[in-house]
Amino acid sequence: MRWKIIAIYSVVVAVVGLLAFALMRASIGDLVSNPDRARAEADRSASAAAAQLQLEALSLQRWLSEQEVQARDVFTRETPEARGEAATNLANRLFSMADAEFKQSAPTVVAFVDSHGVGVGRNGSTLMRGDDLGKAYPALVETLKKGTTGADVWVNKTRGEQLLVSYTTVTDPQGKPLGGVLVGTSLSDGRLSSLSDGTSGRPIGILVANGDKLELVAKSATVNGGLLAAASGLKGAAADRPVQLQGAPAGFAASGVGLRGYGDGKRAMVVAFAPVSIVESVTSMLWPILGATGLGLVLVFVAGNILGNYLNGPIVELEEGLLQIINGQGDRRFEIEHAEFGGLVFRINQLLNTLMDVPEDDTDAEGRPSHPPRQQDFQEAMAVGGGGDEDAYYDKLYSDYIAAKRGLGDAVDHITKDAFVQRMRQSAAEQSAQQGRPVRFRVEVQGREVKLLAV
């Protein structure tokens, strides 16, 4: 029986597992693998990263504008050497102030330039003094001529520079440009990793136009080897709005948006990658379901054995007992306590008593009759009472008891008549005193036991 139970429920668990996989695949197939969703996610990721960089640039420009008054002092010095020393000293102070103010875009360099874009001085060293930065980065000179603020992407392998730079024009009290002060922040993989973590969490990178090609200059840590190799093949023009880029690796969508606020907004582009599928394949999701189904089969096996033993035990006992009765053991009865088979066992015992003309046992667990005693129940037991020979009563009680025990095959050699009579006399006296009337005993066989019933 147990194997039938296990087999049936194993099939049920297996069918439920396969049906769950089929329904899940039909329900979330488009969600798991959806190119349109991936393109939209790439657009949002690129836009979020570009917006954050633009916000950082504007924050630095505003902060630099607030330093204009003290920056004028650098350009009022008479000699280039004096202007250089003043520029370096003030640049050191501004560097410390910016480092404390801007945690996410900590400065790499703070420098002063004249109105033609020539370096006056920078923090920490005498480098950049006399460097023609305006020639390398024309947007800087254009901003100084206008007397405004600006930002640009400085990527120059010859000069060894890879920075995001914000600058402001320093003017005299009449508004004439004297020069400018700039703050450069690192354009590095670490910066892009922090930017990715703070926005979308998607792989992002910065592409800079190099002739007719796009060159990846910085990337987040989530850009793996496949994306890194594909980045050099991306094609597309920087635009104010996110655009889908050609050359994205298989299984990914790539979107780029121009880095507005830095120069003309077309020199650099923020690119973001989004996977088309959130898992390798829908089929790979079968394995967790198979694992759960396997666990279900193991539990079915354990529960099937427990349930099989619970049901099979009484059945085996009934089968063996009926076989004993068929082989001649007519007094065999069943004493099985079972929630499901208890009623059946009782009816089988009734049937056996009826077929073999055996009076039904109508006493409770303590041997007391379940109906009021009848007159004939007392006739034999009280035959000795009231003047009869009491010794003859106990002799007969002993003989009936020994005969009943032998009938069941029990040993009786250890039961002596004197001890038996003495014990029964004592028991009769105690029960007579308790009940206030004479008590006698009769012998009755109940199953495999011989009982002495008080009447």
Taking the C-alpha atoms of residue 154 and residue 186, their distance in angstroms, rounded to an integer, is 10
**Could you give the percent of the chain with pLDDT greater than 70?**
86
Instruction: Map residue 133 onto helix, strand or coil.
Output: helix
pLDDT tens digit string along 25-79? Answer: 666 655 566 788 888 888 999 999 999 999 999 999 999 999 998 999 999 998 9
Q: Residue 268: pLDDT band by 50, 70, 90 thresholds?
A: confident
Note whether 111 and 128 are within 8 A (CB).
Answer: yes
Q: Of the segments 182-186, 309-313, 387-391, which one has the largest average pLDDT value?
A: 182-186
Q: Residue 369: pLDDT band by 50, 70, 90 thresholds?
A: low
Q: Exposed/middle/buried for 43, CB within 10 Å: 0-12, 13-18, 19+? A: buried
pLDDT tens digit string along 105-163? Answer: 889 999 999 999 999 999 999 888 999 999 999 999 999 999 999 999 999 888 889 99
Q: Residue 385: pLDDT band by 50, 70, 90 thresholds?
A: very low
pLDDT tens digit string along 432-448? Answer: 888 778 888 888 888 77
Taking the C-alpha atoms of residue 110 and residue 113, their distance in angstroms, rounded to an integer, is 10
pLDDT of residue 280: 55
Taking the C-alpha atoms of residue 438 and residue 100, their distance in angstroms, rounded to an integer, is 109
Q: Which residue has the higher pLDDT, 381 or 397?
A: 397
- The residue among 183, 171, 177, 120 whose CA lies nearest residue 145 is 177
- The residue among 155, 250, 156 whose CA lies nearest residue 206 is 155
For the entire predicted model, the pTM comes to 0.58
3-state helix, strand, coil in the chain (%, to 5): 50, 20, 30
* Average pLDDT, rounded, for the chain: 83
pLDDT tens digit string along 157-183? Answer: 888 899 999 999 999 988 899 999 999
pLDDT of residue 38: 84
Q: Residue 384: pLDDT band by 50, 70, 90 thresholds?
A: very low
Judge whether residue 367 has pLDDT over 70.
no
Note whether 214 and 207 are within 8 A (CB).
Answer: yes
Q: Which residue has the higher pLDDT, 14 or 247?
A: 14
pLDDT tens digit string along 318-362? Answer: 888 888 888 878 778 888 888 777 788 888 888 888 887 666 555
Judge whether residue 184 has pLDDT over 80.
yes
pLDDT of residue 427: 86
pLDDT of residue 79: 92
Residue 123's alpha-carbon distances to 82, 88, 162, in angstroms, are 15, 5, 17
pLDDT of residue 365: 52
CA torsion angle 75 78 83 89 (round to 10):
-90
